[in-house]
Amino acid sequence: MNFNPFPEIKTDRLVLRKIEESDADIILFLRTDKTVTKFIERPENRKTKNKTDAIKFIREITEAFKNKESFSWGITLKNNSTIVGTICLWNFSADHKIAEIGYDLNPAFQKKGIMDEALKSVVNFGFSKLNLAKIEAFTHKENESSLKLLLKNNFQFIENRKDEDNPNNIIFEIEKPAINKA
């Protein structure tokens, strides 16, 4: 499937748009703020420490999108183009049937149902436009807000799967609903 231009997504309150180099300051904030990153462990080579790293990261996700390796959206409110959070589908399986979802939100915009709205639209995009069979989520076992978000969106806890790279993570998945199946 060809995604040119970038597949912007609109919901009732939100526009999920392409992340540009001009968004580097907010990307740096989201990837360094202590509240946002409390439960997110990134390997040293994926850490964003300054604006140069943030620009490099944005270039990497732009390139990954062109290569159909990942989709990263900046979440904005309809009346303001400033990014308040991000959401992505990445880590695709070789057959492109499974992807992992990731997300973060500026604390000033949490507890308003914004990520709930964004996640629903991205899950729907994954199943209907990318024809994914399954979407996975790896989340820290004590990340209550993230656990709540996944459970209320029908992600199932997969008890017997372990994250080999991070024993603190637990794994959830959602399968393509029958209504989306061809």
Q: Which residues bind ligand COA (CB under 6 A)?
A: 36, 39-40, 103-105, 110-116, 139, 143, 145-146, 148-149
Minimal distance in Å, beta carbon 158 to ligand COA? 15
Closest residue to ligand COA, judged by C-beta, is 113
Minimal distance in Å, beta carbon 98 to ligand COA? 17
- The nearer residue to ligand COA, 56 or 148, going by C-beta atoms, is 148
Nearest to 83 by CA among 154, 42, 24: 24
Minimal distance in Å, beta carbon 174 to ligand COA? 14
> From CA 148, how far away is CA 162, in angstroms rounded?
20
Minimal distance in Å, beta carbon 182 to ligand COA? 30
Minimal distance in Å, beta carbon 173 to ligand COA? 13
- The nearer residue to ligand COA, 107 or 177, going by C-beta atoms, is 107
- The nearer residue to ligand COA, 66 or 112, going by C-beta atoms, is 112
Adjacency order of strands within the sheet including 9-10: 9-10, 14-18, 71-77, 80-90, 98-105, 134-140, 169-175, 156-157
> Half-sphere exposure (CA, 13 Å, Cβ side) for 77?
11
Angle at CA 106, nearest 5°, toward 101 and 111?
85
- The nearer residue to ligand COA, 78 or 181, going by C-beta atoms, is 78
- The nearer residue to ligand COA, 106 or 127, going by C-beta atoms, is 106
> From CA 168, how far away is CA 75, in angstroms rounded?
27
Q: Which run of H or E residues covers position 18?
A: strand 14-18
> From CA 72, how far away is CA 65, in angstroms rounded?
8
